[in-house]
Structure 1
Amino acid sequence: MLHYKTYELDDPEAPWVVFVHGAGGSSSIWFLQIKEFIRHFNVLLVDLRGHGKSKGMALHKEDRHYDFEDITRDIIEVLDSLRIQKAHFIGISLGTILIRNLSEIAPERVSSMVMGGAIIRLNIRAKVLVTLGNTFKRVVPYMWLYRFFAWIIMPSERHKKSRLLFVNEAKKVAQKEFMRWFRLTNEITPLLKYFEEKDTAIPTLYLMGDEDHMFLPAVRYIITRHTNSWLEVIDNSGHVCNVDQPLEFNTRAIHFLKKMSSTDALTATVQLRLATC
């Protein structure tokens, strides 16, 4: 099972918030969120397979080539072990794809979703990056590829802290594990297309940096098609907005989750919709 860490309030009615990191990261990328969130919610942090303290998790022979569903079910296994029937989910980057996939596999487990630096669609630049990565992954050291991708996605000097954080975390991922995760790029495009066409109607807040030029345009489009979806753009921030602007990220996410945790969630949804009109 995945490595995880929990922070629980004394209040038995306190809702759960599950944090899901992106590829190459670990639960440590949420260090700027934990202090604020544990004041209001029970918190569950997971390290995805091959990442953080889950990098040593045993794999059966048949699991050595896995897909998004396998990784998503890893998260559900942790929820089951902790007897968490339903939770709010917060993700960053590729973690948002896993949360969206979880909302398809087990929608009854998802109260709401906060998608930071959400990956909704791959634009031309992103597709070129994936193609280059698949072409050179056997001959170029994987950390060269990761540094290059990080620089393309987070190019500004203002993004340096986020970029270095993800690069340093990626160094802890074994090369064989990196290759397994990179194979997942082959199924990203059809999966994202399915997500775009199907609206879950689960309350979803997209938190995007105004400098996240690779992924922000697609999110602006998707909220016009999906119900119960809202976008808030954080100024002076790139793809990893929870690190670039943690105060704004925390304030907006907590406000949304507290609304969604109210006894009358339907009323909260209507209020949020009116506020954005």
Structure 2
Amino acid sequence: MLDYKYYKCNDNNNETIVLLHGLGGNYGIFSKQIATFKKQFHVLAINLPGHGKSPSTSDYDKSFDSDLVVDELLRTLDKLNIGKAHVVGISLGSVVAHHMLQRAPEKVKSAVLGGAITRFTPLATFLLLAGTAVKRFVPYMWLYKLFAYIMMPKANHATAREVFIREAVKMKRHDFLAWYKLAFTVKDTYADVQVKGKSVPKLYISGEEDHLFVEPLLEDTKSDKQAHHLVLKECGHVCNVEKPKEFNAASLEFFNKHRTEHVPISSAL
């Protein structure tokens, strides 16, 4: 069972927001969201396999893949009697959310996807392949730090970059490498979201300086009638950390539009 924290709103009738972090992080990266979100919703913050106190990727009796991750998420929701939830996914968490939309769209009321990844640019693909060539010979944290600086190179990205590097140190090498392999499935993971997850409203929040991912995202999602976009100025990849006020306000507005019992936007912000 995955490690999680479940924050209950005072109103027992409120719906639940599920938080999915990025590679090397943990649910602590949502510290600037939880306090705000739990005023309006129950909040379920989850550590994905290989992160925090969740099981290692090697603890399972079958191959570690995206299906296994979604199975674990669904098992956690079932344990907590959460029939349907709103989902927030950041970076890698957006990839997991996309796979959840493929596998179990009926479990998702709406989704906010920050720093979302739908496919890799030629530069990003080259970096992944280069990393694959040397990953068995160099400490994984060298790769992680290199990618962190390439993805988040500017001074205003420093806080987000440092948070992810600091938390990734706690991750075991074999867990990092297991997730690294899944990076090559990103394009396939998104491929039929518009078909199987077509009924689920999605808000993509990206930083305009997210140079590896924002352009492919905007191109890939432009024909999705349920996809909405917010591009934040002077912001990089990890937009919930760099621009928490803007991220929180847009997320709450979106979730309140798509909850079962609509709450006026003015009272939600």
Q: TM class, shorter-chain normalised?
A: over 0.9
Q: Secondary structure at the match of 1:28?
A: helix
Aligned to 2:28: 28
**In 2, Cα distance between the equivalents of 1:199 and 1:123?**
24
Closer, same or farther in 2 for the Cα pair 1:38/1:167, shift >3 Å? same
- Greater shift in the superposed pair: 162-171 or 193-202: 193-202
Q: Is the 8 A contact 1:201 1:227 kept in 2?
A: no
Q: Secondary structure in 2 aligned to 1:114?
A: strand
Which TM-score applies when normalising by structure 2? Answer: 0.93
For the Cα contact (< 8 Å) 1:120–1:196, is it kept in 2?
Answer: no
Structure 1 moving runs of 4+ over 4 Å: 55-58, 196-199
Percent identity between the two aligned chains: 36
- Per the alignment, in what secondary structure is the counterpart of residue 230 of structure 2? strand
Query: What corresponds to 2:232 in structure 1?
Result: 234
3-state SS, counterpart of residue 6 of structure 1: strand
User: What amino acid does structure 2 have at the position aligned with 1:42?
Assistant: H
Give the Å deviation of 1:58: 7.6
SS at match of 1:51: coil
- Is the Cα contact below 8 Å between 2:202 and 2:228 reproduced in 1? yes
- Quick one: structure 1 residues 249 and 158, their matched pair in 2 at CA, closer, same or farther if it must change by over 3 Å? same
* Equivalent-residue separation in structure 1 for 2:262 and 2:29 (angstroms): 32
Shift of 1:222: 2.9
Per-residue Cα deviation, 1:83-107 (whole angstroms, up to 9, x for no partner): 1000000010010111111112111
Q: 1:194 to 1:133 in 2, by over 3 A?
A: farther
How many Å separate the matches in 2 of 1:57 and 1:138?
A: 18
Q: Is the 8 A contact 1:209 1:216 kept in 2?
A: yes
Alignment partner of 1:173: what SS? coil
Cα offset, 1:12, TM superposition = 2.5
- Whether the 8 Å CA contact 2:118–2:187 is kept in 1: the answer is no
Judge conservation of contact 2:49–2:57 (CA < 8 Å) in 1.
Answer: yes
Shift of 1:55: 5.0
* Alpha-carbon distance in structure 2 between the residues aligned to 1:71 and 1:20: 11
Q: List aligned pairs for 1:1-277, cutoff 5 A.
A: 1-54=1-54, 59-60=59-60, 62-63=61-62, 65-195=63-193, 200-261=198-259, 263=261
Displacement of 1:216: 0.8
- For structure 1, the 5+ residue unaligned runs are 269-277
Q: What displacement does 1:218 show?
A: 1.7
- Partners of 2:178 and 2:221 in 1: CA distance: 32
Equivalent AA in structure 2 for residue 95 of structure 1: G
Rate the CA distance shift 1:193–1:123 in 2: closer, same or farther, 3 A: farther
Q: 1:125 deviation in Å?
A: 1.1
- Which runs of 5 or more structure 2 residues have no equivalent in the other structure? none
Letter in 2 for 1:27: Y
Q: Secondary structure of the residue that 1:217 maps to in structure 2?
A: helix
Q: Distance in 2 between matches of 1:157 and 1:133?
A: 25
After TM superposition, the structure 1 stretch with the greater mean CA deviation from structure 2, 32-41 or 191-200, is 191-200
Q: Is the 8 A contact 2:5 2:45 kept in 1?
A: yes
- Map of 1:271 onto structure 2: none
Q: Is the 8 A contact 1:196 1:222 kept in 2?
A: no
TM-score (normalised: structure 1): 0.90
- 1:43-99 deviations in whole A, cap 9, x for unaligned? 000001110121568814x33x31011111111111010010000000100101111
CA contact (8 A) 1:199 1:226 kept: no
Distance 1:104 1:192 in 2: 8
Structure 2 SS opposite 1:13: coil
**How many pairs align?**
264
Cα distance in 2 for partners of 1:137, 1:154 equals 21
Residue identity opposite 2:88 in structure 1? I
User: For the Cα contact (< 8 Å) 1:219–1:231, is it kept in 2?
Assistant: no
**Is the partner of 1:184 in helix, strand or coil?**
helix
Paired with 1:119 and 1:31, the residues of 2 have a C-alpha distance of 22
